Structure 1
Amino acid sequence: MTPDEHGEPASEGWDETTGDGHRGPAAEEWSGPAIEDHGGTAAEALSIAVSAGVPALLWGSPGTGKTSAVLSLAESLNWPIEVVIGSIREPSDFAGLPVIADGTMRLAPPAWAQRLATAGHGLLFLDELTTAPPAVQAAMLRVVLERTVGDLRLPDKVRIVAAANPPEEAADGWDLAAPLANRLVHLDWPVDGRRIARGLAIGFPRPPLSGFERPASPEEVARARAVVAAFLEVRPTLAIQVPSGDAAGKGWPSPRSWEAAARLLAACRSAAASSEVLAVLVAGAVGEGAALEFLSWLERLDLPDPMAVLADPDAFELPRRGDRAFAVLTSVVAVAVADGSGDLWDAAWRVIAKAARTAPDVATLAARALAQHRPPGARLPMALLELTPILRAAGLLHE
């Protein structure tokens, strides 16, 4: 599916009096500061985050082209976009205005939310996030987390991007609250003077759309989740680390942000993104310290393709290293469950049975997950006979 198949554009125009922008298809040319850094890393990271459905926050000084970048991305995708400026908003602009209709009170959504719901897809751009007072940030939190404005739920194909100046550079700036920060992938927006010079001379580049051209499949997302799970099995203290001080307003590790990191990992792999783009996205989700450990561990992991393992379970050899063994088995189970077919479910049991001979503890965890997702009509595999002792020990079989 190409990006311009998502639907009709929203009505065109720009409402400078209210701070809401609603834009339709692209203008013929985009003008503004360059939206890519030295290698296009920030621009590609933004595109991949949007394609993966992970809300992104662009950090940069005023006038560096953050808004132009988001508008250009929407134009390239032929998506409608709504620009909502936090500094001139009230909490009710996100929580909804109470109205009485037919004797019942409801929370009426604002016009920008109704336009996005009608279009069924598009970009919601929350600009000047750090100039919004804490009460407005708290109201925005529900929009980012629950995708709900008043009593209206935004469609799943509406993606959220925000932009902010560092509090010290923003007029009447406020630090970003840690709960809101944890729901966003944070991307620093660099400025390269040479690229700006070239853009002024010959035109600024369009944002890359590799994440939309090659979106991650459910199987790829399942594999990425299994890899992240294997890392947290090794480093459980990194599952959650609530920050304090200035670090609270950026990415930090939590179950929610690790889930986002898994989706971004799958999107990067599917789009064949560079290691630099992956590093920027993972660090933006879970923070630099946790990202450094994860990426270093990932580089040394060298896992076999779980589809190749499922295609020939008898040839599978379980890695001796515990974290690799865990990652392989959880990836195999994740792919089999995502596929939903009886054949792969049966093949996964054969892999687990072979693994149980040398690593029964790891095999037990994989068996527990696989047993909970039996496809309709699938017969019990013969491999279960070999697994009877560990299944009984795990409480999955009774005398």
Structure 2
Amino acid sequence: MREICVGRQAIHDLLGRVVGHELLFRPSRTAQTSGVGIGPGTEGVRVTGDDEATASVIVATTTEFGTRDLAGDGLLFINLPRSFIVDELPVPLDPRRVVLEVLERVAPDEEVMAGLDRLHRRGFALALDDYAPGDHREVMLPLCEYVKIDLGDVTVEELPDLVAHVRRLAPRARLVAERVETADDFTMAADVGFDLYQGYHLRRPVVLSRPALVHHALVASRLLVRLGDPQVSYRVLARLTAADPAITLKVFRVVNSVAGAGQRVRNLHQALVLLGRYRFRSMLVLEVMAIAGHRDDEVALRSLARASAAEILVPHDPLAASTETLVRMVAELLDMSVDELGATIHRTRPTHDVEEACDVLDAYLAAVEFDTEPEAELSREMFAVSMAYLAGVREARELLSGVLGPLPLD
């Protein structure tokens, strides 16, 4: 378990209405700043790079909170460093809901300009962050729908000329005044013609957090390897995904988010097909970059064994059975009820016989864990369940011996 955090600051129009939110990387719930780029020498302070910060924000948006939770019907503004612009790292976001902010440290070289054009053609609105007099990113202005100017970086005398300059080069762009700290700042920005406003005078950033499961480092890395092979079937990918409750949960959340397929699914295999290899790989790449995975092999073994046992117990609907027991395991780990979790991932409720088989499996596992006798009406089924679970353990060990062992040499 870990705590997923993301900062959020509202962006307002002239009448004070919220039109969107900028998402900010925050390493903890109590952090006041991002910590991005903090140099060495400060004891106890961990350095966070732009890529890691953006990956964390995208992971929080796509697999933990969702765009509607973070912004309602408004837009989300997300900072974008060079690696994401030039397609070294994926941008698995919904262009209808997200504005991509080009950081001030991004130089407008050939690769960057081609990347911005590619993102623009995908439908993303672009913004220049912290635009200032003599900015080296001036050539980017014609591509941008938003230009953000930090009032703290511009003198009162420079501001009207800077606004006029941006209006000439990007006549369709909306100007956003950042660091609007006082009523006087707001009046000054309105007088020179800003369209949108962001700052402490209007609303301070808030940090949203929620508990999240951490992926198994080796399972995630092996999934990335398998996803690179187009011959590997979705059934194989689903079986390996079932070894990790964290990745399983994220798959369901992404596929049912606005950026995903936006429909209910019955099982993990169907969810992966709807998600697609490219989006699944993108999700994993950013997950691995944003969060250090754990190496508790027991979690992977238990998860796979439960899924395999459930499939044996419900041979006429094995995928629904394995998905049901995985959802129950995730709910246990998150200390939630199955109904609560099911509502958040929009999963189709399983049939009665699937639920009944998983109830018996749960009773068997509880009896083993706490060394107790199962309820009388379940005891006669325990032998068949124990055989199914032992078979599941054998299958899990066989699969994981290849996953958790060293990679084979070519």
- The alignment's TM-score, normalised by the length of structure 2, stands at 0.30
With normalisation by structure 1, the TM-score equals 0.31
